[in-house]
Structure 1
Amino acid sequence: MTEPPRSGLRNPRAAVRGLGAGTLALEAIVLLLGIQPIRVMGGDLSGWGIGAVIALAVSAAVLAGLMRHRWAWAAGSALQLLLLASGLLHWSLAVLGLIFGAAWWYALNVRRTILGTPPPDA
């Protein structure tokens, strides 16, 4: 007889994947919508900076679709560090890095709480 899930969810792995994917999808949307306000408010975001923001947003969207793979969680953590480092391009990107870094930390914490140690096939 198998032990029921610790969380009471029918499919805890899917719930955790949904949380991670939702966090990354929201991050991608905010990054794309943040380009124009940064430019309008007098930000010195160059073409390279805009390209970096678009690359981060596309990476977040792609990772949101790949959350079924265990390595995607590590890649999502690396993405948060890259976003924080992009604060060198504009200070508002560092603020977004802190906000989404905290949201990602929360998602990782929920994952650890619900699933315990990461399962091999997550």
Structure 2
Amino acid sequence: MRYRRIVCASVLVSEALVVLFAGLVALPLTDVPDATVWWVTGLGSLACLLLAGMLRRPWAYVAGSVLQVLIIASGLWVRSMFFVGAVFAALWVSAFVLARRVEAVQEGFRRDRPAGDA
């Protein structure tokens, strides 16, 4: 569980930074009001950071998955978010799946190790 939390938190923190910077890039490229761009990207970044800190709770992984969908949907207001959201949704799923595999392999090593080994 520890590795999954670390990897998924890393994805969320990275996503928070990229979402915020995507908003900065989108400001001159979109005809959406600047305040809307700031709200969409700012709330997305804040949600990513808050969830990264809450990953000790099982429900936070579900919330992180919902957040990925919401960030993709924010592309309706800021077009670049379609791409950014899709990339980070793929990273989120990959981090979740690969971390579970690593933990399963480590658990197998723990079970196979003789009781006397330290």
Shift of residue 72 of structure 1? Answer: 0.7
Greater percentage in helix: 2
What does 1:2-81 align with in structure 2 at a 5 Å threshold? 13-40=1-28, 42-46=29-33, 47-81=35-69
Aligned alpha-carbon RMSD (Å):
1.4
Judge conservation of contact 2:3–2:103 (CA < 8 Å) in 1. no
- Matched AA of 1:43: T
SS of residue paired to 1:90: coil
Q: Larger Rg: 1 or 2?
A: 2
Deviations 1:49-71 (A, max 9, x none): 32021111000000001111111
Deviations 1:1-38 (A, max 9, x none): xxxxxxxxxxxx21211001000000001111222211
What TM-score comes out, normalization by structure 2 length? 0.80
How many aligned residue pairs are there?
Answer: 103
Aligned-pair identity (%): 30
SS of residue paired to 2:57: coil
Identify the structure with bigger relative contact order (alpha carbons < 8 Å, sequence gap 6+): 2
1:99 partnered with 2:84:
no
**Distance in 2 of aligned mates of 1:45 and 1:32:** 16
Unaligned runs of 5+ in 1: 1-12, 117-122
SS of residue paired to 2:18: helix
What TM-score comes out, normalization by structure 1 length? 0.77
Shift of residue 115 of structure 1? Answer: 4.3
**Distance in 2 of aligned mates of 1:105 and 1:73:** 10
**Distance in 2 of aligned mates of 1:101 and 1:16:** 15
Unaligned runs of 5+ in 2: 105-118
- Matched AA of 1:39: L
Judge conservation of contact 1:44–1:90 (CA < 8 Å) in 2. no
- Matched AA of 1:78: V
**Distance in 2 of aligned mates of 1:93 and 1:63:** 19
1:89 partnered with 2:90:
no
